[in-house]
Structure 1
Amino acid sequence: MRAPLAALAALVLTAGPASAEPAVADVCALTSPKLAELSGLASNGDEWFAVNDSDPGRVEVQVLDRSCGVTRTITAPANPYDVEDLALAPDGTVWLADTGDNGKTRETVALHAISPDGTSRLFRLTYPDGKHDAEALLLDARGVPHIVTKEPIGSALVYRPTADLSDAAPTPLEQVARVSMRGTDTPGGPLESTVVTRLVTGGAMSHDGRVAALRTYTDAYLFPVPDDGDLAKALESDPVRVPLPNEPQGEAIAFDPDGTLLSATEFAPNASRSTIRAVPGAAALAAPAPTTTTPPPPQGTGDTAASPAPAADRSDISPWAVIAAGAAALALVWLGVRRTRTRRRT
């Protein structure tokens, strides 16, 4: 399996950013009904860790071999409300983002941390500005969790805790960044609307911490992280877009240690399988350039100084697009509420 993926790496690395379409290879088929609504994925290089959107009344993480077979299940006694993503810390702790809130009804959201020894902790969190639905979790180089919201209209919002997490009382969150994404023509998603190409449905960090990835139903966006590890700053920079076409409900994304980007979707309606796909060498497309010591050009020579490149256009969508987005948002909320099974709040 690794040989075909390695062969594709050259194709990916020669593709240009944003407008290019890197090679996306099918790796293996997921057939376990335990992952019919796969929403989060992580990798340690040998195994994949996956979480289902609809829980069985307890925290469950399915551990997969690299042929998509479930080899074991990690459980925790907590009864989650709506787990939407997961991240794997360097020490082997699995962090689950219990942050889904389609109906905007939750007073708190939560993170579940499951250690390699099987112990688990529950950390409740509160937003500073009202309720949000969120499906993406990122851990920065210091292990600080960042939650990215799913916004049908306007920019996705990035939140992180204002203090160390505590299992004794909810920890307040603060907004630290906004992520602007434009609609694309990449096919896929639950609705035929460009709105679904802007909704953030998952996140991942490269193993060296130098690239952050956010995905929508149809595309992945790769953000170079500066040397100081400032993830909030990285998420407001211009990303590299990697199309992930024809995923009916694409919500899972991860990095292998070698920089391969992994993508997966929920089962399509009436389907009995989905596919984990790979974009070899993807992290290299967005890795920050090495720091150089090249001196600045001489000043006062009479030549006109070069103007800085114009900032990327991050203007909001037009009024007509807002109306269309509002209609699509209502449809998405209806779909989410219809799909969400009754859960007890964390």
Structure 2
Amino acid sequence: MRSVVAIAAVSLAVLGGPVPASAAETPQPLCTMKDSRIGELSGLVSDGSRLYAINDGGTKAQVFVLGRDCKVQKVLTDRTDPFDVEDLARTPDGRLWLSDTGDNEKGRLTVALLEMSPQGQVTLHRLTYPDGQHDTEALLMDKSGTPYLITKDILGEAKVYRPSGPLASPGPTNLEKVGSLKIETTDTPGGPVGSIGSALVTGGASMADGSVVALRTYTDAYVYAAPDGDVAAALRRTPVRIPLPGEKQGEAIAFDPDGTLLSGGEGVGQPLRAVRGAAALAAQSGAPAEGKTTTGTGASSGSAGDGAGLPVLPAAGITLAVIGIGWFGFSRLRRRSRS
């Protein structure tokens, strides 16, 4: 994501309330990101014994390989210069996928996926949207290796895209829209922009077998069951919400192979945290209630709290909050403006 977004006025419609769900375990500290080279943690994956992390943006394709203590063991680097890397995924064959899809100013003609081999060599796959530019910070990968991009929309519904055919190199390959979803605001504390940040999609994660996927905002994670590996169908379900309170700029999310959910955010000295048994909660997700789904993958959010759901800001409050964000808050989200 890039630069400053200014908003003059807002009208935001919110879908119906969350559905009941069982309580999730409170996030527990795993380790602390102390390495100054990882000051803008934006994407995270896990193979169970090692963690793989990326910074937001950057001038070269770079993945940090960490131990479970958050200490850097090695760095995979390729001279490919990305525009704005935002998320990270991993396929079972060990390939890493860097989502170079940030575009806060909506000025990119193409976005890209950077396919990195276990040795650090990058293959470029350019992509084009069918309906104009989008800022995208979340990447999901299904069990067959098909990538899904979920946009970060300040207003309205987050959109879901996937390639319309096999990825070309360097491409571009056309993307197709396969759905959309709307996430309600919550009162989970954290994030750089207040309650409105709780509705902005900042990252994604997939279980290696494709059976569960998750999206996150600055403050919460949303877990979806995908028993047949179909991500588009999974995102039609009403998810289970797992609050991730207190992350200053939470953008990274990952699954351990045992279903533990890992989360973290930007800033040296910030913790990585773990929610054990998170993937199992996906069994509680279900089809959206009648009247809550429009087309595609639209869904309102479920709750992993007490089942009653957290309150939604009144429309007037949202309007005032976002107007304030226009002249102050969103300037904190990114500072860079490279080409």
Q: Same fold (TM over 0.5)?
A: yes
For residues 123-151 of structure 1, what are the alpha-carbon distances to aligned partners after superposition, in whole Å with 9 as ceiling and x for unaligned? 11111111110100011111000000001
Counterpart residue type for residue 96 of structure 2: V
- For residues 206-285 of structure 1, the aligned pairs below 5 Å read 206-227=207-228, 229-267=229-267, 272-285=268-281
Classify 1:18/1:185 alpha carbon distance in 2 versus 1 (closer, same or farther; 3 Å): farther
Structure having the higher helix fraction is 1
Counterpart residue type for residue 332 of structure 2: L
| Residue matched to 1:302 | none
Aligned equivalents of 1:226, 1:257: Cα separation in 2? 16
| Residue matched to 1:202 | 203
Contact preservation (8 Å) 1:226, 1:288: no
Aligned equivalents of 1:279, 1:120: Cα separation in 2? 32
| Residue matched to 1:93 | 95
Is residue 130 of structure 2 the alignment partner of residue 134 of structure 1?
A: no
Contact preservation (8 Å) 1:60, 1:73: yes
Counterpart residue type for residue 283 of structure 2: A
Counterpart residue type for residue 53 of structure 1: D
Contact preservation (8 Å) 1:154, 1:317: no
Gaps of 5+ in 2: 1-18, 294-298, 301-311
- For residues 1-346 of structure 1, the aligned pairs below 5 Å read 18=21, 20-55=23-58, 57-192=59-194, 194-227=195-228, 229-267=229-267, 272-287=268-283, 310-312=290-292, 320=316, 323-324=319-320, 326-327=322-323, 330=326, 331=328, 333-336=330-333, 339-344=334-339
Aligned equivalents of 2:221, 2:120: Cα separation in 1? 32
- The alignment covers a number of residue pairs equal to 302
Identity fraction in percent: 50
Aligned equivalents of 2:281, 2:329: Cα separation in 1? 32
In structure 1, the residue corresponding to 2:232 is in which secondary structure?
Answer: helix
Contact preservation (8 Å) 2:24, 2:278: no
The alpha carbon displacement at 1:19 in A equals: 7.0
The alpha carbon displacement at 1:340 in A equals: 3.1
Counterpart residue type for residue 206 of structure 1: M
Report the aligned-residue RMSD: 2.4
In structure 2, the residue corresponding to 1:184 is in which secondary structure?
Answer: coil
Aligned equivalents of 1:35, 1:29: Cα separation in 2? 11
Aligned equivalents of 1:200, 1:140: Cα separation in 2? 18
Please report the TM-score for the alignment, with normalisation by the length of structure 1. 0.81
Aligned equivalents of 1:136, 1:223: Cα separation in 2? 15
The alpha carbon displacement at 1:103 in A equals: 1.2
Aligned equivalents of 1:321, 1:145: Cα separation in 2? 36
Aligned equivalents of 1:70, 1:29: Cα separation in 2? 12
Contact preservation (8 Å) 2:185, 2:313: no
Aligned equivalents of 2:211, 2:121: Cα separation in 1? 29
Classify 1:259/1:19 alpha carbon distance in 2 versus 1 (closer, same or farther; 3 Å): closer
Aligned equivalents of 1:234, 1:43: Cα separation in 2? 22
Aligned equivalents of 1:318, 1:176: Cα separation in 2? 30
Classify 1:47/1:328 alpha carbon distance in 2 versus 1 (closer, same or farther; 3 Å): farther
Please report the TM-score for the alignment, with normalisation by the length of structure 2. 0.83
For residues 184-229 of structure 1, what are the alpha-carbon distances to aligned partners after superposition, in whole Å with 9 as ceiling and x for unaligned? 010000022x2100000000001221111000000000011132x2
Gaps of 5+ in 1: 1-15, 290-307
Which 10-residue stretch deviates more, 20-29 or 69-78?
20-29
* Structure of greater Rg: 1
Aligned equivalents of 2:317, 2:175: Cα separation in 1? 30
